[in-house]
Structure 1
Amino acid sequence: MEQLNANNQQSSSTLSMPQIPRMLPLKQVIHYTGLSSTTIYDMLDRRSKRYDPTFPIQVKLSKGRVAWVESEVAQWLESKIATARVH
């Protein structure tokens, strides 16, 4: 019974913890999207013909280190899939 109460307390404290966004390095964004690094950076460049304002913007984590929010990449992919299914 004590074990059950300890598990319940742990579960309730886990539920109240804030969700920490999962960050994806460029290699994983390339893997999940099937895009090259050049295409990804072109999609972020407003001067590029391939610019896509809907593509998730990277987050600068430190000097020389950027990553993308996993949920934003997933939403972008889902919107592309939904658009393809409509047409």
Structure 2
Amino acid sequence: MISAATDRFMRIDEVIHVTGLARNTIYRRMREGTFPQQIRLGPNSVAWLQSSISEWMSSLVVAASSVDRNSQ
């Protein structure tokens, strides 16, 4: 888990790299409510908290492992 002291902002290119999702997929999932929302840093600047992205990724792993256990 990332603490508030070590949390940082990630720009879209890094979010794309870390998650493996395409830009359009990220924004579509944000609209659907299935991806962390961006934070506005300024009039033309947005970013995501690293902790939010990490938590989202962890939740996918947990969900996938529970599906695997239920199918056995």
Give TM-score scaled by structure 1 length. Answer: 0.67
The Cα of 1:20 is off from its aligned counterpart by 5.4
The Cα of 1:64 is off from its aligned counterpart by 1.2
| Number of the residue aligned with 1:10 | none
1:21 and 1:59 map into 2 onto residues whose CA distance is 13
Query: What letter is aligned with 2:54?
Result: A
Matched residue count: 64
- What secondary structure is seen at the aligned counterpart in 1 of 2:37? coil
| Number of the residue aligned with 2:20 | 34
| Number of the residue aligned with 1:44 | 30
1:27 and 1:80 map into 2 onto residues whose CA distance is 21
The Cα of 1:63 is off from its aligned counterpart by 1.5
1:68 aligns with 2:48: yes
- What secondary structure is seen at the aligned counterpart in 2 of 1:60? strand
Query: What letter is aligned with 1:65?
Result: S
Which ranges of structure 2 fall in alignment gaps of 5 or more residues? 68-72
| Number of the residue aligned with 1:8 | none
The Cα of 1:83 is off from its aligned counterpart by 0.7
* Identical columns (%): 34
The Cα of 1:55 is off from its aligned counterpart by 1.5
Which one has more relative contact order, counting CA pairs under 8 Å at least 6 apart? 2
Give TM-score scaled by structure 2 length. Answer: 0.80
Partner deviation per Cα, 1:40-77 (whole Å, 9 max, x = no partner): 111112xxxxx1x2421100001111000000100000
1:69 and 1:54 map into 2 onto residues whose CA distance is 15
Moved over 4 A (4+): none
